[in-house]
Amino acid sequence: MTSSTPATATVSAAAAASAAASLTADQAAARAAELRDQLHHHAHLYYVLDTPSLPDAAYDQLFQELQAIEAAHPALRTPDSPTQRVGGAVLDVFDPVRHVVPMLSIRTETDTEASGAENFDARVRRELDLGEQAAPVEYAAELKFDGLAINLRYERGVLVQAATRGNGETGEDVTQNVRTISQIPLRLTGDGAKAAVLEVRGEVYMRRDDFEALNERQRAANEKTFVNPRNTAAGAIRQLDPALVRQRPLSFFAYGIGETQGWDIPATHGAMIDALGSYGLPVNADRAVVRGAAGLVAFHREIGEKRDALPFDIDGVVYKVNSRELQRRLGFVSREPRWAVAHKYPAQEQVTKLDRIDIQVGRTGKLTPVAKLEPVFVGGTTVSNATLHNLFEMRRKGIRVGDQVIIRRAGDVIPEVVGKVDAARAAYVPNFRMPRHCPVCGSDVAREPGNIEFRCTGGIFCPAQRKQALLHFAGRRAMDIEGLGDKLVDQLVDGGIVTSLPGLYKLGVAKLTALERMGDRSALNLIDALEKSKHTTLARFLFALGIRQVGETTAKDLAKHFGRMDALMSATEEQLLAVKDVGPIVARSIAAFFAEAHNREVVEQLIAAGVSFPESDGAAAAPAGPQPLAGKTLVLTGTLPTLSRDEAKELIEAAGGKVSGSVSKKTSYLIAGEEAGSKLDKARELGLTILDEAGLQALLAATE
């Protein structure tokens, strides 16, 4: 794409100028807005997704038309207009930045748990000439973040430059892009503001939830997905257009320093990180000062155990001699400090062979291709199944049976195939096709035009869907039937014992004890759990039915609005649209569900079996208790000290408030706990009121 260079403004520019001059002010404003949208859209496809959607010449034409309109109507020239990047914000190439203090790398120990730490400690003691009797060495132990290294140069507290590591001597100037990362302060506070020069080094990374959400958006748009958070972060930082970097939520942790002038360097690494934190820089809380090899081994083990639960990827831990004086004495060997080492964990990506592709049928009939793999150790466990997400994604990645594929397993996200290793195939392998009939029940498979999802049309008659429907019905947030797990559901459905949701409540001890691995006690417990589950709420019952598009929140909104089951069942699409947050797709899905005689029967039979819930007159009825949060929207982020997410949500809703998943100008309060991430940044950016759990409790206790 060349349009940002004035040289391309050639012949058609004159024509565009005369056309622009003949537009009325209103026409010009409308057309300019349209052009800006189109240009942003195509630039996004081109730069970010590497999928050019328009020939360069066509892009240039739109660009020139916008330039001409803006020239004729200067008031329409908005700061975010693509034309405003000419010669300015669009970075053609990155300027080189010479690092005054080289950015080194660290040696890696991939050894088993103990020896990696012990080897390092032994080497440090030897090089420092410490005898057997000398006290243990003190180390700063921290996480090895999996992103890319960045040098932030602050002068008198102001961020003046950000550079990549490059070859260690010379990096690239990525200041404009780094400025888009809201976690990185543009100005330091406290003593940080006084230092003539303070270069802060750290890692730019992408949180797993931000990465997953980004890929979900890509998938929904049937666009290319990203392989892992590290590559996505590295790619984003080297984007040419800072506006596009902003759409990739990036985060940062400081872990060291470069050049400094007029700053008292703390005597230990630990104190230095504390100081950086006190200046407003993000530093990670999972760090410790430990003694000797034993302390390092314990840290490695502790972090290894919580690795999956961290909100971001790490590929190991880093050990650093804590004392700066000892660091100086140890010095460097061939571009690596003798005072630091990285100790790795099992990789989260591995290559293995794709043996076969199976199709999994979900609760709503959605067909998902699942890779059956030659078992491979990845992210700490052995994986032999991984999702291929959907047919189109697989095709885009060129994956076929027999290929060597790349598996990623990070955190509690299900393992996925993220790509393949390019290699010639030994023989011709046909492209994978989705089956025309459901592999479980044989019903037709259908795909709505324009939709990427293939579905089994068998509905509840399909055993796979029935199993998933039963599991969903029994789920903790639905009817909460303890002890009804997937093994038991398999037995009940495969044995033809339960064929519908109401069938669950007809289970007796005799039928249950006839099952394998089911003793009297377990059977009685299950029957007890089934009995208990009958006393529920309308919202839980609605959610449990598994109506497409009706998640927990919509179920609550529907229950509140209609109050009664019969009112909801007979509601028209139009009446459904009157419910808060219910749009046409959701309304259509609900109406279609209750239009099916079969579904109405299920509801009636469940009620006949004893399922009951309090009913009211709906939204018009007076709310139960005091409603201090009526009309307020709250967002929860991070881990609260005593309340779980669900508990906090229930309390807020009981007080009349609404809980939303994303921060916007409309958010009334952000409730932030430990490890709060991008939502907290966004809330700060928007100047919202941010409270902790105690603050939330105070709101809940307030009476109007």
- Nearest distance from C-beta of residue 250 to ligand IVH, angstroms: 14
Determine, following the binding rule CB under 6 A, whether residue 144 of this chain makes contact with ligand IVH.
Answer: yes
d(CA 507, CA 529): 12
- Nearest distance from C-beta of residue 339 to ligand IVH, angstroms: 8
Phi and psi torsions of 449, nearest 5°: -55, 135
Determine, following the binding rule CB under 6 A, whether residue 145 of this chain makes contact with ligand IVH.
Answer: yes
Residue with Cβ nearer ligand IVH (149 or 663)? 149
Determine, following the binding rule CB under 6 A, whether residue 210 of this chain makes contact with ligand IVH.
Answer: no
Which span sits near ligand IVH by CB under 6 A: 139-147, 218-226, 351-359, 693-701? 139-147
d(CA 465, CA 181): 43
- Nearest distance from C-beta of residue 284 to ligand IVH, angstroms: 8
DSSP per-residue codes, 397-427? TT--TT-EEEEE--TTSPPEEEEE-----SS
Residue with Cβ nearer ligand IVH (320 or 472)? 320
Instruction: Provide the Cα torsion 564, 565, 569, 574; round to 10°.
Output: 30
Residue with Cβ nearer ligand IVH (120 or 145)? 145
Determine, following the binding rule CB under 6 A, whether residue 234 of this chain makes contact with ligand IVH.
Answer: no
- Nearest distance from C-beta of residue 562 to ligand IVH, angstroms: 53
- Nearest distance from C-beta of residue 295 to ligand IVH, angstroms: 17
When binding is defined by CB under 6 A, the residue of 199, 203, 313, 557 that contacts ligand IVH is: 203
Which span sits near ligand IVH by CB under 6 A: 37-45, 98-106, 264-272, 418-426? 98-106
- Crossing angle of helices 597-608/584-595, nearest 10°? 70
Which span sits near ligand IVH by CB under 6 A: 23-31, 142-150, 416-424, 445-453? 142-150
Region of residue 411 (phi > 0: left; psi between -120 and 50: alpha; otherwise: beta): left
End-to-end CA distance of the chain: 59
- Nearest distance from C-beta of residue 145 to ligand IVH, angstroms: 4
Residue 365 CB contacts under 8 Å (≥ 6 apart), including other chains:
438, 455, 456, 457, 458, 459, 462, 465
* Contact predicate 273/255, CB 8 Å: yes
Residue with Cβ nearer ligand IVH (256 or 563)? 256
Residue with Cβ nearer ligand IVH (148 or 441)? 148
* Contact predicate 340/318, CB 8 Å: yes
3-state class (DSSP) for residue 204: strand
* 306 in active site: no
DSSP per-residue codes, 541-608? HHHHTT-TT--HHHHHHHHHHH-SHHHHHT--HHHHHTSTT--HHHHHHHHHHHHSHHHHHHHHHHHH
Determine, following the binding rule CB under 6 A, whether residue 337 of this chain makes contact with ligand IVH.
Answer: yes
Site for ligand IVH in 299-328 (CB under 6 A): 318
Place of tokens 């139960």: 624
Residue with Cβ nearer ligand IVH (61 or 177)? 177
Residue with Cβ nearer ligand IVH (333 or 694)? 333
Which span sits near ligand IVH by CB under 6 A: 122-130, 137-145, 219-227, 526-534? 137-145
Determine, following the binding rule CB under 6 A, whether residue 163 of this chain makes contact with ligand IVH.
Answer: no
Determine, following the binding rule CB under 6 A, whether residue 507 of this chain makes contact with ligand IVH.
Answer: no
Which span sits near ligand IVH by CB under 6 A: 104-112, 188-196, 353-361, 369-377? 104-112
Determine, following the binding rule CB under 6 A, whether residue 104 of this chain makes contact with ligand IVH.
Answer: yes
- Nearest distance from C-beta of residue 351 to ligand IVH, angstroms: 23
When binding is defined by CB under 6 A, the residue of 255, 263, 543, 669 that contacts ligand IVH is: 255
Distance of CA 219 to the CA centre of its chain: 13
Which span sits near ligand IVH by CB under 6 A: 144-152, 385-393, 429-437, 527-535? 144-152
Residue with Cβ nearer ligand IVH (283 or 399)? 283
Residue with Cβ nearer ligand IVH (148 or 542)? 148
Determine, following the binding rule CB under 6 A, whether residue 700 of this chain makes contact with ligand IVH.
Answer: no
DSSP strands (E only) in 242-348: 251-261, 288-291, 314-321, 332-333, 336-337, 340-344
Could you tell me which residues are beta bridge partners of residue 314? 145
Residue with Cβ nearer ligand IVH (288 or 591)? 288
d(CA 468, CA 459): 11
Looking at the chain, how many residues does it have? 704
Determine, following the binding rule CB under 6 A, whether residue 171 of this chain makes contact with ligand IVH.
Answer: no
Determine, following the binding rule CB under 6 A, whether residue 142 of this chain makes contact with ligand IVH.
Answer: yes
The amino acid present at 8, given as its one-letter code, is: T
- Tell me which of 144, 320, 649, 679 is the catalytic residue: 144
- Looking at residue 292, what DSSP letter applies? H
Which span sits near ligand IVH by CB under 6 A: 57-65, 143-151, 155-163, 296-304? 143-151
Phi and psi torsions of 437, nearest 5°: -125, 145
d(CA 547, CA 137): 61
Q: In the chain, helix, strand, coil percent, each to 5?
A: 40, 20, 40
* Contact predicate 92/240, CB 8 Å: yes
- Nearest distance from C-beta of residue 173 to ligand IVH, angstroms: 18
Determine, following the binding rule CB under 6 A, whether residue 282 of this chain makes contact with ligand IVH.
Answer: no
Q: How many residues bind ligand IVH (CB under 6 A)?
A: 14
Phi and psi torsions of 366, nearest 5°: -65, 135
* Contact predicate 425/446, CB 8 Å: no
* Contact predicate 515/487, CB 8 Å: no
- Nearest distance from C-beta of residue 337 to ligand IVH, angstroms: 5
Determine, following the binding rule CB under 6 A, whether residue 257 of this chain makes contact with ligand IVH.
Answer: no
DSSP per-residue codes, 437-471? B-TTT-PBEE--TT----EETTGGGSHHHHHHHHH
Determine, following the binding rule CB under 6 A, whether residue 106 of this chain makes contact with ligand IVH.
Answer: yes
Determine, following the binding rule CB under 6 A, whether residue 141 of this chain makes contact with ligand IVH.
Answer: no
Determine, following the binding rule CB under 6 A, whether residue 340 of this chain makes contact with ligand IVH.
Answer: yes
Determine, following the binding rule CB under 6 A, whether residue 256 of this chain makes contact with ligand IVH.
Answer: yes
Residue with Cβ nearer ligand IVH (205 or 543)? 205
Could you tell me which residues are beta bridge partners of residue 154? 159, 198
- Which residues are known to be catalytic? 144
Q: Which residues bind ligand IVH (CB under 6 A)?
A: 104-106, 142-145, 149, 203, 255-256, 318, 337, 340
